[in-house]
């Protein structure tokens, strides 16, 4: 996917910056918003920027 396109994308909720998430094979899996802790999935190379489609972002090292 074109990284220049990613740079133009912001979170539809908070308008904040998004971070690309990749799987073990370096394939883009989604765009993460750290502020909202949501992951917007990428399907067929197209980012799905819908809150209803967003997945909860797994946080690391933040247990109860
Ligand atoms: Zn956000």
Q: What is the pLDDT of residue 36?
A: 95
Would you kindly state where each structural domain of the chain is located, as residue ranges? 3-56
For Cα atoms 46, 52, 58, give the angle at the middle one, nearest 5 degrees.
Answer: 80
Tell the residue number behind the tokens 């094979």, with chain if given: 25
Higher pLDDT, 63 or 23: 23
Distances (CA, A) of 26 to 21, 29, 52: 9, 9, 25
User: What confidence tier does 3 reach under pLDDT thresholds 50, 70, 90?
Assistant: low
Q: Is the pLDDT of residue 2 over 60?
A: no
Coil, strand or helix at 35: coil
- Burial class from Cβ neighbours inside 10 Å (0-12, 13-18, 19+) for residue 40 reads buried
Q: What is the CATH number of domain 3-56?
A: 2.20.25.10
Cα 8 to ligand 1 centre (Å): 14
Cα 4 to ligand 1 centre (Å): 19
Which pTM value belongs to this model? 0.77
Cα 36 to ligand 1 centre (Å): 4
Interval 10-55: pLDDT, tens: 999 999 999 999 999 999 999 999 999 999 999 988 899 999 999 9
């Amino acid at each position: 996917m074109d990284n220049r396109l990613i740079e133009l994308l912001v979170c539809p909720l908070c308008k904040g910056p998004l971070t690309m998430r990749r799987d073990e094979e370096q394939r883009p899996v989604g765009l993460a918003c750290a502020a909202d802790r949501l992951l917007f999935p990428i399907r067929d190379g197209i980012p799905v920027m819908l809150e209803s489609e967003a997945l909860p972002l797994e946080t690391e090292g933040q247990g109860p």
